[in-house]
A and B are shown apart, each in its own frame.
Chain A
Amino acid sequence: MASIDDPFPYRHLLAIEGMKPWEIGFLLDEAAQWVDVGRRARKHDDRLAGLTQINAFFENSTRTLLSFEIAGKRLGADVVNLSAGASSLKKGETLLDTALTLNAMRPDVIVIRHEASGAVGLIAEKVDCPVLNAGDGRHEHPTQALLDALTIRRRKGRLEGLVVAICGDILHSRVARSNFHLLAAMGAEVRAVAPPTLMPAGVAALGAVPFTDMEAGIAGADVVMMLRLQLERMDGAYVPSTREYFRTFGLTVERLRAAKPDCLVMHPGPMNRGVEIDSAVADDIQRSAISEQVEMGVAVRMACLDVLTRGRREEGR
């Protein structure tokens, strides 16, 4: 049971929405401690030894799955990966049956990715252990927002007061939603920059100021966060072509001049070079934090796994 002064009083990590600034700050502080461990030759801290972590990915993912696997292993957990195509497990009772099956294996923490918004929360209701949302549909991707925030905080020293422009396919992006919640809660000025067809109605309710002009949207920004354009959506239905998209919304060296000179460039990956971002920007080690984001991802996931399993480890003693 969570005590009243528990800095993280939640059973699961399903969303950033609703989290208090000090709760977010606590997770970031915890994660910051793991960065150094990751840079040592011997990276193990075996506090999760004996615990079973299941990574259940019902939607394809390489980097997030790898990141959670490494995080779990560095903490000494027994990590099992389940990669099941969502098509075979999405319908009917199968999703809840799968949850019950996973639960019967008596895991100590389950990491879930699913293509349907809300699916991870639905599974979390059916299992006895903490559940970590690794991305559900267009809804949230909380560890991505945390790793983005940790990256920004390390580079800029703060989150409060920064101007952060999140650019690209906002409509379909869980990364954008989690980041809007987190950055607005932490006092940053957040902008949503997208073509009108990829801008969700009502985005201002998340604390983001919408822009449909790229130059205006990134003007004076401290951070420009690019989103991946899902190429399967490039069939003329949302934007006419990748060529036109790059011309109007692609992040180039010239366009980046509108932002602050020390502007940080971020991308959750994998990148479409020449579609949403130019290689010259992506590879600019002065401004691009893209590789650092990946490194912070492991630290954030170690922190989340550690924090969520603390209660169970206490019970085990």
Chain B
Amino acid sequence: MRPLLIRGARLVDGDGERAGDLLIVERRIAALGTVDAGGAEVIEAAGKVLAPGIIDTAFRVDKAATIAGGITGVLLMPDQSPVLDEPALVERAERLGKPQLWVHPLAAATRGLRGSELAELALLREAGAVAVATGRAAIEDANVMLRLLRYAAGLGLVVVSHGENVALTAGAAATEGEAAMRLGLPAAPAVAEAIQIARDLRLAALAGARLHVACVTTAEGVALLRAARAAGQDVSAATTPDYLLLNEGAVTGYRSFARLSPPLRSERDRLALREGVADGTVAMLVSRHDPRSAEEKRLPFADAAPGAAGAATLLPLALALVRDGVLDLPGLMRALSATAAARFGVPGGRLGVGEPADLLLFDPDAPWRIEADALPGKAGNTPFDGLPVQGRVLLTIKGGEVQR
């Protein structure tokens, strides 16, 4: 394989930014700084940003959308069909994206994600699961959750939990408040999140377990996580650009593309979440890519499936946080890549000699408009249809090879 030199880039990772070249030899970063091209193939970066490939969380493997989004690693949620609760299924999931994309499966916490019996976590870890997750719903039974946390702690596995109380959110399609009331939508109070996060934090502390809240969306949820981290608890959290850029008003007109799980929250929650991202309480930004077909979305709002496509738009939407001063560019790359790599022990996340050549070249200023129909991959259901954005992925490099 011929060496590849990317010349004249802004090299940005979680540790900082500098100008220079990057040389790839045998699928790894071989040199950084001012590098002699030698016999290498050369790509002129012309001052664009070269960063570690994004490590994302998703519900589906959607290769075209992830490559277009600069994503080189995917933490795959266990809610697949069938559920990732058998070692053979985990092994198969891990092979799904290669070589363009590495899929890191999360093991189902309980058999069939039914919330009652623990799955074979040790065997699932051997099969390649990097963590264990409760999937789209929390585990309702506190005793099962406690046993899960204790058992996972014994294996050193992070437990990824869904932060919404099952009983409070049953049948709900929106967050309780003016928007849901006007539309006459069944709604659950936002405190459903805080109640679940508070319970899981207490149980994780008791179990000595490592907890990751899959998607935090409310002011109270952020406050609980902030307090737990300040007290020294080993806890992390992620969120998506949806909750940082939109509030509950986006469902007006029964726009089912804005039907998400958790549902969109109030403006106060949105602003508090941005503070949580700024101070590192919510240290990971992910897409939770969950494309739905038109058949699943073109329904009355409460009947429509929750979820949205997000992989291809993750970076340009997240870049809005840099322009708004919530994060600087190295901080953003940390949130998109390095934190997830460190938390889940997967390769990537840094621009360093010897690191895998999983890279992303992008123009942070290029303007374009999100058009749902034009998005690559499985489905175009995004709540951001029609939104003008800035920031475009130019190249995604996985294992030293440019992906198309």
Chain B nearest CB from A136 CB (Å) reads 8
Q: Are A201 and B187 in contact (CB under 8 A)?
A: yes
Contacts of A117 in B (CB 8 A): 183-185, 254, 300-302
Chain A nearest CB from B321 CB (Å) reads 29
Which residues 155-206 of B sit at the A interface, judged by CB distance below 8 A?
Answer: 176-178, 180-187, 189
CA A96 to CA B295, docked complex, whole Å: 10
Q: Are A206 and B181 in contact (CB under 8 A)?
A: yes
Stretch from A137-145, A160-168, A276-284 at the B interface: A137-145
User: How many interface contacts (CB-CB < 8 Å) are there between A and B?
Assistant: 72
Chain A nearest CB from B348 CB (Å) reads 41
Q: Are B300 and A119 in contact (CB under 8 A)?
A: yes
CA A253 to CA B181, docked complex, whole Å: 32
Contacts of B26 in A (CB 8 A): none
Q: Are A206 and B182 in contact (CB under 8 A)?
A: yes
Contacts of A267 in B (CB 8 A): none
A90-127 vs B, CB cutoff 8 Å, 1 = contact: the mask equals 11110110000000000000000010111101100000
Q: Are B182 and A137 in contact (CB under 8 A)?
A: no
Pick the contact of A201: B176, B183, B299 (CB < 8 A).
B176
Q: Are B303 and A139 in contact (CB under 8 A)?
A: no
Q: A93-B295, A117-B254, A118-B254 are in contact. Are A205 and B181 (CB under 8 A)?
A: yes
Pick the contact of A17: B176, B182, B187 (CB < 8 A).
B182
Chain B nearest CB from A36 CB (Å) reads 35
Q: A17-B182, A137-B184 are in contact. Are A201 and B301 (CB under 8 A)?
A: no
Contacts of A93 in B (CB 8 A): 295, 298
Q: Are B298 and A91 in contact (CB under 8 A)?
A: no
Which residues 244-287 of B sit at the A interface, judged by CB distance below 8 A?
Answer: 253-254
With both beta carbons as reference points, the residue of chain A lying nearest to B302 in the complex is identified as A116
Q: A138-B184, A174-B184 are in contact. Are A202 and B302 (CB under 8 A)?
A: no
CA A17 to CA B184, docked complex, whole Å: 12
Contacts of B300 in A (CB 8 A): 90, 95, 114, 116-119, 122, 137
B350-370 vs A, CB cutoff 8 Å, 1 = contact: the mask equals 000000000000000000000
| A200 part of interface (Cβ distance < 8 Å) | yes
Q: Are A122 and B254 in contact (CB under 8 A)?
A: yes
Contacts of B181 in A (CB 8 A): 200-203, 205-206
CA A95 to CA B300, docked complex, whole Å: 9
CA A139 to CA B353, docked complex, whole Å: 60
Q: Are B302 and A205 in contact (CB under 8 A)?
A: no
Contacts of A201 in B (CB 8 A): 176-178, 180-181, 187, 189
| A73 part of interface (Cβ distance < 8 Å) | no
CA A90 to CA B299, docked complex, whole Å: 9
Q: Are A138 and B182 in contact (CB under 8 A)?
A: no
CA A197 to CA B300, docked complex, whole Å: 25
Contacts of A96 in B (CB 8 A): 298
CA A122 to CA B180, docked complex, whole Å: 17
Chain B nearest CB from A157 CB (Å) reads 31
With both beta carbons as reference points, the residue of chain B lying nearest to A96 in the complex is identified as B298
Pick the contact of B183: A90, A91, A118, A203 (CB < 8 A).
A118
Chain B nearest CB from A277 CB (Å) reads 24
B299-319 vs A, CB cutoff 8 Å, 1 = contact: the mask equals 111110000000000000000
Which residues 194-229 of A sit at the B interface, judged by CB distance below 8 A?
Answer: 200-203, 205-206
With both beta carbons as reference points, the residue of chain A lying nearest to B295 in the complex is identified as A93
Q: Are B295 and A92 in contact (CB under 8 A)?
A: yes
Contacts of B254 in A (CB 8 A): 117-118, 121-122
CA A156 to CA B177, docked complex, whole Å: 34
Chain A nearest CB from B109 CB (Å) reads 29
Contacts of B176 in A (CB 8 A): 200-202
By CB atoms of chain A within 10 A, which of B182, B183, B302 has the most? Answer: B182
Q: A174-B184, A203-B181 are in contact. Are A137 and B295 (CB under 8 A)?
A: no
Chain B nearest CB from A140 CB (Å) reads 7
Chain B nearest CB from A190 CB (Å) reads 14
Interface of A toward B, CB cutoff 8 Å: 17, 90-93, 95-96, 114, 116-119, 121-122, 136-140, 174, 177, 200-203, 205-206
12 contacts between A and B (CB under 8 A): A91-B299, A114-B300, A117-B183, A119-B300, A121-B253, A122-B298, A138-B186, A177-B184, A200-B176, A201-B176, A202-B178, A206-B181
Interface of B toward A, CB cutoff 8 Å: 176-178, 180-187, 189, 253-254, 295, 298-303
Closest 5 CB pairs of A and B: A138-B184, A116-B300, A118-B254, A139-B184, A202-B178
Besides A118-B300, A122-B300, 8 new A-B residue pairs in contact (Cβ under 8 A), listed by A number: A95-B299, A116-B301, A117-B184, A118-B254, A119-B300, A174-B184, A201-B177, A202-B180
